[in-house]
Amino acid sequence: MNCRHCGQPLTFPFLDLGFAPPSNAYLTEADLTRPERYYPLKLFVCDACWLVQTEDYAAREALFDADYAYFSSVSESWLAHARHYAASITEELSLGRDSFVIEVASNDGYLLRNFVAAQIPCLGIEPTASTAARAEELGVPVLREFFGEQLSRTLVERGQLADLIVGNNVFAHVPDVNDFTKGLKTVLKPGGTITLEFPHLVNLIDEVQFDTVYHEHFSYFSLQAVEHIFHAAGLRVCRADQLKTHGGSLRVFGCHADDPRVDDVSVERIRALEQERGITRLDTYRDFQQRVDEAKNGLLRFLLDCKDAGTKVGAYGAAAKGNTFLNYAGVKPDLLPYVCDAAPSKQGKFMPGSHIPIISPAELARAKPEVVLILPWNISDEVVAQQKPVLGSEVRFAVALPRVRYL
């Protein structure tokens, strides 16, 4: 395989998670008697442009289908994050009724609903029918297609150039990152702004966040890699904010390469941070597999100890990252009998690979676990705040990365 950005041969694999099913391919009871798709799950780093990427196996249409089960609005903290962003960017860019906002991968309208409420014209681009339908119920106009340069040209022909293009946690989901970025360039007005949010590679390495690796994530970004990709498309990163979301993310602000605005000091600061962390040195990646295996073994020891002690353990959050962790560790219902999730789209189904049943919060309360393992550790504070009053003060909450620990 060659690098999906610069085309150089990929010769440095640094993480092998074996074979796994797509992490959002939740199963019905009938599915349990049918064959299940598994693909190799490996990470490579390109030593030319430093883009970290999965090996190509699964096509995007097989991963983002009509029954896609991830709905952004399920998380209250993510809704609050979206509201704050919408208010701040509207003020910063002086957006109004004469502006036009495009969100790529608009999901269920979690963000654009704020622009609709402010009467700022907007368009969501979302290929998954399940989430697009929910957004349309909120009054968000949605184009049900995959985004790329060809679609951008169609939008330009319609006169729909954007003052602001938003892409939250979509850049990693794009198999052809060059075509996607050219699409951003094509549909961006002169003087317009792009903001992309994505988990920062520095945090993935530092905090052993290997559970964010799954087939739906084709790439894992440093600022170094994003600047390479933007430059090739005629764009420039003019600002970079560090965020706490998803275990540590970057929000990069992009503009046309010839935009007169001056780069913010944050760009140089993040460049220096990545240099210090060794993002452009192969040695940084050499021991990652060992650290991942230590985390996996730690979870297995924890669950086995709980079983031996007769401690009732359940999990919360049927998230894609949980599926990566559970499948790599080989955890089945004998060690973890259920996973609770607040999303109705997942309840009554089963986790891919592990076949652990997914229950509702009401069923979790009836099960009365003694320990709740929070799989989406990035929203652990939100989960504890919601569930502790329901489950009682005796319940202990735990997360498994970068090591198993009680909260």
Domain definitions of the chain by residue range? 72-281, 288-406
Q: How confident is the model at residue 318 (pLDDT cuts 50, 70, 90)?
A: very high
d(CA 285, CA 265): 28
Q: pLDDT value at position 82? A: 94
pLDDT tens-digit series, residues 337-365: 999 999 898 999 999 999 999 999 999 99
Across 6-15, 75-84, 148-157, 297-306, least confident range:
75-84
Rounded mean pLDDT, 191-200:
97
- Mean pLDDT over 188-211 rounds to 97
324 vs 72: which has the higher pLDDT: 324
What does the pLDDT read at residue 248?
92
Q: Structurally, what CATH architecture does the domain formed by 288-406 represent? A: 3-Layer(aba) Sandwich (3.40)
Best mean pLDDT range from 60-69, 70-79, 397-406: 397-406
pLDDT at 64 over 80: no
Q: How far is CA 305 from CA 34, 107, 299, 300, in A?
A: 33, 40, 10, 8
Mean pLDDT is lowest, of 53-67, 136-150, 227-241, for 53-67
**Average of per-residue pLDDT values in the chain:** 94
Is residue 118 a contact partner of residue 82, using CB atoms and an 8 Å limit?
no
Report the b/e string of 351-380 with b at 16+ CB within 10 A: bbbbebbbbbeeebeeeebebbbbbbbbbb
Average pLDDT estimate for 99-123: 96
* pLDDT band at residue 75 under the 50/70/90 scheme: confident
Quickly tell me which residue has 């797509």 as its tokens: 22
Is residue 333 very low, low, confident or very high in pLDDT (cuts 50, 70, 90)? very high
Range 72-281 has CATH code 3.40.50.620 = no
* Average pLDDT, integer, range 147-160: 97
| pLDDT for position 59 | 54
pLDDT at 227 over 90: yes
Q: What is the pLDDT of residue 57?
A: 63
pLDDT in tens, 245-260: 888 999 999 999 999 9
| 262 DSSP 8-state letter | P
pLDDT higher than 70, residue 70: no
Task: Assess whether pLDDT exceeds 90 at residue 60.
Answer: no
Place of tokens 């390495």: 205
Render pLDDT for 377-393 as a digit per residue (tens, 0 to 9): 999 999 999 999 999 99
Burial (Cβ within 10 Å: 0-12, 13-18, ≥19) of residue 179: middle
Please report the pLDDT score of residue 246 as a whole number.
83
Which of 358, 322, 118, 367 minimizes the C-alpha distance to 211? 322
- Nearest in space to 404 (alpha carbons), one of 309, 294, 249: 294
Rounded to an integer, the average pLDDT of 41-48 is 96
Q: What is the mean pLDDT of the segment spanning 370-382? A: 95
Say yes or no: do domains 72-281 and 288-406 share a fold. yes
What distance in Å separates the CA atoms of residue 360 and residue 122, rounded to the nearest whole number?
A: 34
CA atoms within 13 A on the CB side of 265: 0
Give the C-alpha separation, 322 to 198, whole Å: 18
